[in-house]
Structure 1
């Protein structure tokens, strides 16, 4: 690498080598040596800077490659962190998973009383529903037994069933939470879960009534509470309304929901979801709908106090009257004239129906409390309506739909409480 040079200009030449690292993602560690001569007394860095052409290009290349290496190093570190996180999650999943199924499809050591997580959500919740239905039947047997046998044995059976229900509820909640974490819940699965929750709520209330000795209370002394604006919390009449050429519908209501209290009740028939509806939606006044025809009602009830409402109607000329707290507040005509209320429908409390028995919209749901919903297939007199509003003993009961616990089913978490109308006015 050395040669004979002009002695008057140069005394000693040094060989200076620039090392350029040519690296790639697949090939590291290879190097190429590029050498050039510089005077003895000249600074190597200065010589390099003064070098034109290839030296400057090489320096730029070195800097670019160094930056590339640093970026690749950062990328590798991020990928390692991601791999560690995924590995940790996988380890947790493996540690929580059930053992492999043994002969016959049953997992070793499992009791299989609450269904298998590996099965679909619908299958598991269906099994839970069947189990809770069995408990419900046992509770009904218990109620019949305790009415005829007020003994220590009946109380022991109650305690045993209460403990069983408590355990079942804990397992239901645990299983549902597990299912929600492992896969999205479809609409059908949500409806199944709501039915299970409703059954649990009903069982708890009936057990409480048994423990407090409320079996002998009148079956109409109760109220329904809808604490949230949802599309799944409601109550339903067990039987349809008959064909009616006139009607009177009365109820107690308490709400301060805003905007609008929602839908206290709706009656839908095949082909007409708005056959008979009482609704206060958004900033609109309360309305009565008959065959999808509307009349605005002069009610002012959004004050958080109990109010008694009555609406009467006859198909002839569509005449209607509206009473609040026993006093007529308004009347009108031409509301669905000569259209009889059709039979074979579904009466729902707390929700507005867009389809027969369903199609609920949370924005139209009722929020508050209601009680003593009664329906007659005739127009009540002013005196009869006043007696209802003042809790007079002469007040009639609905001959088409009467407010008794045996006529109503509750769903989705709606609750049932003891209610005395005139004692609850304040």
Structure 2
């Protein structure tokens, strides 16, 4: 018999069914003739069919396993870092929070909760609790001198509540330290803490009022000790439509690199209707309808300063006064745009949404007092009288600095204040 022009080779390939994992044991043999001179390895690869697909799948799985391994290693480092932070937090009894960041007003708030990690959040809560405890100690001294039985009873109740809050914070640290991984409903926890702090603040304020009934209702200051997104104060009434205005306030801060947002006024559809802000490494700015003017103020020296800004819609003319002296002026700031009514006036935070959307990096850190607003341009003499505490100084006819006009939230504190006496 003549030699056949084709030589037969038996190629045995393992084929894996793709239908289910139970078919892994099913195999079949595939036999195919190939030319005599063809490379057997090439023929095998060319005709492998399912085997080649299986090889590709295995390679992909291997690559996925390597990626997951790298991810696990990164997560272990994150867990290690979190554990270290929690240990420092517990050992140092809640140190003060870190410094600010920076973000353009009106930008989307990507922080959601407090975006500095669990350890720093707990540190902020601890600092707030210490502040409230200090106020209670002051009230205790007052009640000793006046033998006020009711004040003592309420003080003891508040003291117990603060002790309970401290236990909750420590319990939260221990829980996170034991878990080390996995998600937690931090937002719900923070809301409960904020609600309790706000309730404590209101009750302490009521107690302080009971001991200081003869104190003028405008002789107080607000203190924002931490850069958070939950400490703020809010005006109980909105502002009217204004074609001109003057806004004045006393301010004290040593925050660096910027003091944050002393106040912001938002209306439906415009979060930056009227904002005073110093953020990042920028100078202080006044925003009207998102239009910006840079102000020549230098205030973050830890001393009290009196600031006034005037504005008129005609040509957008503005003037800036510090400590009774004009420091700068300009025009074309939101010309012919009246400040809209029916908005929300917030102290200590910049609003990204109506009455909310706060960002801790833009929060005010320091002390505020005597914020007054008029729907007209004050004269230079009137502004000087305000800065020097002259008895002829006018009171704000649009917003006046009275305890009954302001609500306080999130643990911001309130103290007695005498403008010029405190400034000296």
Q: What TM-score bracket applies, with the shorter chain setting the length?
A: 0.5 to 0.7
**1:125–1:238: structure 2 CA closer, same or farther, 3 Å change rule?**
farther
1:258-286 deviation line (CA, Å, top 9, x unaligned): 21211111111111111001111222211
Moved more, 8-17 or 328-337: 8-17
Moved more, 287-296 or 194-203: 194-203
Superposition deviation, residue 360 in structure 1 = 2.2
SS in 2 for 1:354: coil
| Contact persistence 1:194–1:413 (CA under 8 A) | no
* Higher Rg of the two aligned structures: 1
- Alignment match of 1:182 (pick from 179, 182, 185): 179
Instruction: Supply the RMSD in Å over aligned alpha carbons.
Output: 13.8
For residues 103 and 226 of structure 1, the distance between their equivalents in structure 2, rounded to whole angstroms, comes to 14
Superposition deviation, residue 12 in structure 1 = 56
1:357-398 deviation line (CA, Å, top 9, x unaligned): 222222222221111111111111222211111112222221
Moved more, 12-21 or 58-67: 12-21
Structure 1: gaps spanning 5 or more residues = none
For residues 170 and 340 of structure 1, the distance between their equivalents in structure 2, rounded to whole angstroms, comes to 51
| Contact persistence 1:21–1:30 (CA under 8 A) | yes
SS in 2 for 1:105: coil
Superposition deviation, residue 306 in structure 1 = 0.6
Moved more, 164-173 or 77-86: 77-86
| Contact persistence 2:15–2:50 (CA under 8 A) | no
Superposition deviation, residue 179 in structure 1 = 8.1
For residues 105 and 357 of structure 1, the distance between their equivalents in structure 2, rounded to whole angstroms, comes to 20
- Alignment match of 1:9 (pick from 2, 5, 10): 5
**1:242–1:191: structure 2 CA closer, same or farther, 3 Å change rule?**
farther
In the other structure, the counterpart of 2:289 is 291
TM-score if structure 2 supplies the norm length? 0.60
Moved more, 403-412 or 271-280: 403-412
Moved more, 132-141 or 201-210: 132-141
Superposition deviation, residue 223 in structure 1 = 1.4
Aligned residues between the structures: 422
In the other structure, the counterpart of 1:346 is 344
**1:207–1:24: structure 2 CA closer, same or farther, 3 Å change rule?**
closer
**1:183–1:399: structure 2 CA closer, same or farther, 3 Å change rule?**
farther
| Contact persistence 1:351–1:364 (CA under 8 A) | yes
For residues 306 and 210 of structure 1, the distance between their equivalents in structure 2, rounded to whole angstroms, comes to 27
Moved more, 54-63 or 330-339: 54-63
1:150-194 deviation line (CA, Å, top 9, x unaligned): 974675465456546644664576479658966999898537635
Q: Hey, which bits of structure 1, 4+ residues long, moved more than 6 A?
A: 5-151, 179-188
For residues 7 and 245 of structure 1, the distance between their equivalents in structure 2, rounded to whole angstroms, comes to 108
**1:15–1:387: structure 2 CA closer, same or farther, 3 Å change rule?**
closer
Superposition deviation, residue 221 in structure 1 = 1.7
**1:136–1:244: structure 2 CA closer, same or farther, 3 Å change rule?**
farther
In the other structure, the counterpart of 1:373 is 371
Moved more, 228-237 or 271-280: 228-237
**1:119–1:175: structure 2 CA closer, same or farther, 3 Å change rule?**
farther
**1:146–1:315: structure 2 CA closer, same or farther, 3 Å change rule?**
farther
Q: Which gives a bigger RCO, structure 1 or 2 (Cα 8 Å, sep 6+)?
A: 2
Superposition deviation, residue 350 in structure 1 = 1.5
Moved more, 145-154 or 192-201: 145-154
